[in-house]
Amino acid sequence: MNIILALLLLPSLAQAQESSPWTVFQVEMALADRLQEKVLDRILGPGQSAAFVSMDIEFAEEETSSSRDGLGRVDTVLSVATSTGTSQSQRASQAKGSRDSKSIVRREAKRLAVRVLYDQKLSGEEVTAAKKALETALEPYGKGADIRFVAAPFRET
């Protein structure tokens, strides 16, 4: 299973360079919050569901650099023959160097699991609509996302 996380998902973590448990937890929480706010609350209603995300993420840093150095020399000899016998010449030299460096941090989710607890009082049509919406929302990240809905008794608040 190969699921690519979009950089737009979590711009604040673009500088992350290690797969530390805290960083993975932050990614999981941010995705769960986004799914809850943008998909589930809008279809099932606020407080009618809770999204939980679990993933394994591989962080890889790719660094490339290049440098160019050069020394150029231009000699121009202008000879002027006159009755005085003088000549004129010019010399110029130029040194140039440039260095380019680029570093890219890539995050790749190896496993993505989403669990949604929902109020058992919700209709089957509402739950089916939410499932389809989540599948569609997660489709750009790969076909391998494991999405499961679990009915639970929610208390009236």
pLDDT of residue 8: 35
pLDDT at 10 over 80: no
Spatial separation of the C-alpha atoms in residues 97 and 22, rounded to whole Å: 42
pLDDT tens per residue across span 19-47 = 455 678 888 999 999 999 999 999 999 99
CA distances from residue 148 to 43, 49, 53, 145 in whole angstroms, order as listed: 16, 12, 11, 10
All domains of the chain in start order, with CATH: 3-63+111-152 (3.30.300.30), 64-101 (no CATH)
Q: Where residue 72 falls among pLDDT bands split at 50, 70, 90?
A: low
Question: Is pLDDT at 15 greater than 60 in this prediction?
Answer: no
- Give the model confidence (pLDDT) of 79-98 as tens digits: 555 556 666 666 666 677 77
Give me the phi and psi of 97, to 5 degrees please. -145, 145
- Per-residue model confidence (pLDDT) at position 47: 94
Range with the largest mean pLDDT of 102-106, 116-120, 144-148: 116-120
Beta 49-78 vs 3-4: how paired, if at all? Answer: unpaired
Half-sphere exposure of residue 36, counting CA atoms within 13 Å on the CB side? 18
Q: What was the pLDDT predicted at 100? A: 80
